[in-house]
């Protein structure tokens, strides 16, 4: 595949910049680490693009914002937090070997940030471009959502540099996603002497897991998956408490409403048991309609480029749900997000940086 009107990018320089970011570990929730990471991202933006990057303080850590000036036209969206705890780098250092870069966060999503910045650096005209790199995407974007939505509406188009789908495909749609927590209160008793005097929270949890699982509708893309459960204290005590955590994915707002209503309507099966349900579909679905125009541009720039809808969520869910044209998965080609085998394909870096430059240029011309 070849790009039209390719711009000059330096892959060695991109690898050096990627190394710099990866070697500053940035686990979500670690405010000191995230501050160091945000400062590094800001310094990289300033060194490659000029101007001044500002740190937007939040309870989740600093977000990084940069604007080229002029009427806002396109928002480059990403995050600098990662899922890996401090110390991961000691066990899995940044490495370039066999055409791949490996290390914590190379694919999700530090490689995408580097490619986007280098693609923009190759453009003579960067007017109307904004960059927002958040600190809490991996934990729900609770502190950054309002800012993301504000800047998306102001710019009118959003390019999300999360890692690409399989084979380098961009992400044209995403399911909405959420997490629900069901807390169950029973009553303890001696499991041998008088089990009938207790209210077994574990048995109640089993009933709830079956009822919750039945809410799934795979025929319309809705998955409801209990993922974590706990109950009990010791082997001879009827458990007085239990918890169940549930992952939910939906393709439509109607399904999100149905699922939220169903969780709110859960009732105990055992007499004396009590339930407390928390959670919501916190990321709305990203409909494929939001990406149609931008994906068409991307295909003209990169003939043969494929697009796909995926189950995972990103901050692109928020912007697409507002009706702002959004194209996701523009970042690194690779795989292994959130896993020890995470990797980035080096040979694809220049092409993806060119794609970023071409999309921004096309959006500028259309504005």
Sequence-distant (6+) residues with CB within 8 A of 103 are 22, 23, 89, 92, 93, 94, 95, 342
Q: Which of 172, 170, 140 is nearest to 282 (CA)?
A: 140
Task: Give the number of other CB atoms < 10 A from CB of residue 303.
Answer: 10
Segment 205-214, tens digit of pLDDT = 999 999 999 9
pLDDT value for 165: 97
Annotated catalytic residue within 17, 25, 81, 130: 81
Q: Answer yes or no: is pLDDT of 152 > 70.
A: yes
Report the SS3 class of residue 364.
helix
Nearest residue to 207 via CA among 190, 188, 229: 229
Mean pLDDT along residues 167-173? 97
Angle between helices 349-366 and 111-121 (to 10 degrees): 60
Q: pLDDT for 271-317, tens place per residue?
A: 999 999 999 999 999 999 999 999 999 999 999 999 999 999 999 99
The residues that bridge with 55 in the sheet, in sequence order, are: 64
Domain 176-283 has CATH 3.30.70.360: yes
Indicate the pLDDT class of residue 3, thresholds 50, 70 and 90: very low
Same topology between domain 11-174+286-366 and domain 176-283: no
Size (the chain), residues: 367
Torsions phi, psi of 21, nearest 5? -70, -45
Specify whether 81 is catalytic: yes
150 is catalytic: no
- Please tell me whether residue 211 adopts helix, strand or coil conformation: helix
The secondary structure of 291-315 as a DSSP string is GHHHHHHHHHHSTT--EEEES---T
* The CATH fold of domain 11-174+286-366: Aminopeptidase (3.40.630)
Report the alpha-carbon distance of residue 353 to residue 365 in Å, rounded: 19
- Give the mean pLDDT of 326-347: 97
For residue 12, give Cα distances in angstroms to 106, 142, 335, 347, 350: 15, 36, 21, 11, 10
Which residue ranges make up each domain of the chain?
A: 11-174+286-366, 176-283
Instruction: Compute the mean pLDDT over every residue in the chain, rounded to the nearest whole number.
Output: 96
* pLDDT(68) > 80: yes
Single out the catalytic residue among 25, 130, 136, 137: 137
Mean pLDDT of 83-91: 97
Quote the CA–CA distance of 288 and 185 in Å, as a whole number: 42
Q: Which residues of 57-68 are buried (b: 16+ CB within 10 A; e: fewer)?
A: ebebbbbbbbbb
Q: Residue 5: which pLDDT band, with cuts at 50, 70 and 90?
A: low
Name the token pair of 301. 């720039």
């Amino acid at each position: 595949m070849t790009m039209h009107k390719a711009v000059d990018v330096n892959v060695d320089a991109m690898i050096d910049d990627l190394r710099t970011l990866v070697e500053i570990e940035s686990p979500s929730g670690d405010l000191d680490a995230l501050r160091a990471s945000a400062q590094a991202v800001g310094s990289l933006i300033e060194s490659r693009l000029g101007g001044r990057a500002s740190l937007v303080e939040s309870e989740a850590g600093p977000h990084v914002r940069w604007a080229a000036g002029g009427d806002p036209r396109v928002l480059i969206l990403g995050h600098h937090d990662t899922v890996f705890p401090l110390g991961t780098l000691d066990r899995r250092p940044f490495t370039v070997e066999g055409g791949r870069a490996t290390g914590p966060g190379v694919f999700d999503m530090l490689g995408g940030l580097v490619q986007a910045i280098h693609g923009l650096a190759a453009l003579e005209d960067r007017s109307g471009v904004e960059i927002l790199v958040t600190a809490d995407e991996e934990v729900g974007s609770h502190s950054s959502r309002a800012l993301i939505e504000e800047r998306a509406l102001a710019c009118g188009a959003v390019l999300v540099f999360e890692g690409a789908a399989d084979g380098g495909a961009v992400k044209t749609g995403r399911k909405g996603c959420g997490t629900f927590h069901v807390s169950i209160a029973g009553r303890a008793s001696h499991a041998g002497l008088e089990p009938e005097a207790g209210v077994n929270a574990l048995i109640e949890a089993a009933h709830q897991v079956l009822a919750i699982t039945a809410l799934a509708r795979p025929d319309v893309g809705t998955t409801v998956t209990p993922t974590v459960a706990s109950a009990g204290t010791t082997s001879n005590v009827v458990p007085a408490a239990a918890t169940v955590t549930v992952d939910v994915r939906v393709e439509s707002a109607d399904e999100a409403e149905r699922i939220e209503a169903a969780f709110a309507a859960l009732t105990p099966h055992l007499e004396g048991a009590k339930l407390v349900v928390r959670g919501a579909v916190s990321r709305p679905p990203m409909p494929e309609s939001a990406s149609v125009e931008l994906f068409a541009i991307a295909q003209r720039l990169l003939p043969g480029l494929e697009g796909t809808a995926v189950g995972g969520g990103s901050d692109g869910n928020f912007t697409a749900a507002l009706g702002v044209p959004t194209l996701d998965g523009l970042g690194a080609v690779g795989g292994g997000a959130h896993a020890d085998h995470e990797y980035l394909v080096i040979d694809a870096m220049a092409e993806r940086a060119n794609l970023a430059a071409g999309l921004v240029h096309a959006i500028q011309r259309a504005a």
